[in-house]
Chains A and B, each alone.
Chain A
Amino acid sequence: MRKSLNAMLPFTVPALVVIVWQILGQSGLISTRILPTPVAVVEAGIQLGKQGILWQYIWSSTERALAGFLIGGSVGFVLGLLNGLYRISQRLTDTSIQMLRTIPHLALIPLVIVWFGVGEEAKIFLVALGSVFPIYVNTFFGIKSVDSDLIEMAKVYRLPWLKLFWKVILPGALPSILVGIRYALGVMWMTLIVAETISENSGIGYMAMNAEEFMQMNVVVLGIVLYALLGKISDWIATTMERRFLRWHPNYLSNH
């Protein structure tokens, strides 16, 4: 009993907000034209779900997000590895990457539209660009911060390079790399939300923009709620990865 209460604790605040919101909407204190009630949002979701459009939209958004994340994440990871491992590579590219990092990638939207048009490529490019830097910075930092005493120990035991990488450097950098992944997943959704407002014929952003034109406020709010849910799911995936890969870490040891 205590345990299940404890498990429910994080959900009490959102539940209360929804209840108060419903009451305010129903009693007319907030006009439903400005903010539809939760029930109306859920109804819109059910209706669109039945038509099948909802799933289609969610899928095309997720597809874009993952494609961009995979491309950007891989580039950031490889660059982080190279610059963390090889001084010459670091000297060559780190300053340039840090310079690019300071540009807000969403400010590039006009340029990106000129380059890629308003199709899929533009959105995937933006998401990729947003995911590169968190993963790059954290991979780079993770490798740089691997305990040099451990590397020295590995030298005494004459570990071959590949074994040194797999057994010492990569696991040592992993906590930091996972932080990068978690952060990049956040940037991924944020970028997509903005990118999907460019001009679109599918996806959650399109659904919301379209609904706005017809003043279907419940669908607009549904879009926002969907983004929140998807963001929460990817965060959950990231923390699950942390628990799985950092089992050895004292922070996660309680249930080994």
Chain B
Amino acid sequence: MSASFGLQLSMQQVSKQYGKKTVLQGVQLDISPGEFVAVVGRSGCGKSTLLRLISGLEPPTAGEILVDHERISGIHPDIRVMFQESRLLPWLKVIDNVAIGLGKEERDKAVSALHRVGLETRARDWPSVLSGGQRQRVALARALASDPRMLLLDEPLGALDALTRIEMQQLIEEIWSIQKFTAMLVTHDVSEAIALADRVILIENGQIAFEVPVNLPRPRERDHHFVRLERLVLDKILKSHANGVSSQLPSSQWTLLPR
């Protein structure tokens, strides 16, 4: 694999509206090949919509999204998504779930993807007998099976317990550093964003409010550099709160904040 295996992504003045509600407003974002970007923000800030636009599940209202300098419309074959829920098909065995996007002759790819997430022994099991963390690992294997050039992660660890989260973070980082795909992680966990990303982007009211590179050596430890960066991002989020910017949001969405 060449150094530029991951794809280059560029969003130019991208906006998204649902009816009269503007969710994203003139987003300008460039992601280099192989870069790991984390997007943080309060619930309802538009970060998940950003991911859905890149995945091609929804079209932008205005602006354009370029992959390797070419405008994309619809779902790009080299981009895969991992959702918060595993979304495994309960009526297919684990291995058949991993192979869902592959052709008939590519089963070995599914086997190897399952091997990479360390679940090769569960290939013939039904998804319903797996734990939540195992299901997410199968979902990760499914996303990786076709060797995507970009992986979108929509809060994929949000529903897992603390220990499993740490394991999964390590696994994702490990696979990313070997396969060199471009990655975008949407999360509301600032510490998770800093542990994994090369760059953290904060979205507020549908716009990029702040971004900061994370130049810490990997694998990352929670040293004082880490904590200082975490504090910085958190302060930015909290400040917008204090300024009353988020007072337009329903009260149920005030509870965000990292664990």
Chain A residues, Cβ within 8 Å of B126: 247-248, 253, 256
Contact (A248, B90) CB under 8 Å given A156-B81, A158-B75, A253-B126: yes
| Cross-chain contact B80 with A167 (CB below 8 angstroms) | no
Indicate if B128 sits at the interface (CB-CB under 8 A). Answer: yes
Q: B239 to nearest A CB, angstroms? A: 35
B85 to chain A, nearest CB (A): 6
User: At the interface, yes or no: A250 with Cβ under 8 Å from chain B?
Assistant: yes
A residues 173-225 near B (Cβ < 8 Å) are 174
Contacts of A171 in B (CB 8 A): 89, 91
Of B77, B83, B89, which contacts A167 at CB under 8 A?
B89
Q: Mark A242-256, 1 if CB is under 8 A from B, else 0.
A: 000001111001001
Complex interface: chain A residues within 8 A of B81 (CB): 156
Tell me whether A161 is interfacial, beta carbon within 8 Å: no
B219 to chain A, nearest CB (A): 29
Contacts of A159 in B (CB 8 A): 100-101
* A150 to chain B: closest residue by CB: B87
Q: Is the interface of B mostly helix, strand, loop or mixed?
A: loop
How many positions in chain B have a CB within 8 Å of any CB in the partner chain?
Answer: 20
Is B92 positioned at the interface, with any CB of A under 8 Å from its CB?
yes
Do B128 and A248 touch across chains, with their CB atoms under 8 A apart? yes
Which residues of the partner chain A approach B92 to less than 8 Å between Cβ atoms? Answer: 167, 248
B156 nearest CB across to chain A (Å): 13
- Chain A residue with Cβ nearest B125: A256
- Interface membership of B57, Cβ < 8 A: yes
Distance of A149 Cα from B91 Cα, bound (Å): 15
Task: For the A-B complex with A149-B83, A159-B100 known, give 14 more contacts whose Cβ atoms are closer than 8 Å.
Answer: A149-B85, A155-B57, A155-B75, A156-B57, A167-B89, A171-B89, A171-B91, A172-B91, A174-B91, A248-B90, A248-B126, A249-B90, A249-B128, A253-B129
Indicate if B49 sits at the interface (CB-CB under 8 A).
no
Interface size on A, as a range, is 20 to 34
- In the assembled complex, the Cα of A248 lies from the Cα of B87 at a distance in Å of 15
Smallest Cβ-Cβ distance to A246: which chain B residue: B91
Q: Identify the 8 closest CB pairs spanning chains A and B, nearest first.
A: A157-B101, A153-B87, A171-B91, A248-B91, A156-B81, A248-B126, A250-B128, A248-B90
Q: Which of A142-157 contact B (CB under 8 A)?
A: 149-150, 152-157
- Is B55 in the interface zone, CB < 8 Å from A? yes
User: Closest Cβ of chain B: how far from A138's Cβ, in Å?
Assistant: 18
Inter-chain contacts of B90 with A (CB < 8 A)? 248-249
Residue of A154, A158, A168, A249 most packed against chain B (CB within 10 A): A158
| B77, B83, B127, B128: the one within 8 Å of A153 (CB) | B83
B80-111 near A? 1/0 per residue, CB < 8 Å = 11010101011110000000110000000000
Tell whether, in the assembled complex, residue B80 and residue A156 are in contact, meaning their CB atoms are under 8 Å apart.
yes
A154 contact set on B, CB distance < 8 A: 100
Find out whether the CB atom of A158 lies under 8 angstroms from the CB atom of B128.
Answer: no
Q: List 24 A-B contacts (CB under 8 A).
A: A149-B83, A149-B87, A150-B89, A153-B83, A154-B100, A155-B57, A156-B75, A156-B80, A156-B81, A157-B101, A157-B142, A158-B77, A159-B101, A167-B89, A167-B92, A167-B100, A168-B89, A171-B91, A172-B91, A248-B90, A248-B92, A248-B127, A253-B129, A256-B126
- Alpha-carbon distance A249/B75, docked complex (angstroms): 31
**How far is the CB of B32 from the nearest CB of chain A, in Å?**
23
Inter-subunit contact B87/A158 (CB<8 Å): no
Q: How distant is B151 from chain A, measured CB to nearest CB, in Å?
A: 11
* A250 vs chain B, min Cβ distance (A): 5
Q: In the complex the two chains form, is A152's CB within 8 Å of B89's CB?
A: no
Chain A residue nearest to B129 (CB atoms) is A253
Find chain A residues with CB under 8 A from B77 CB.
158
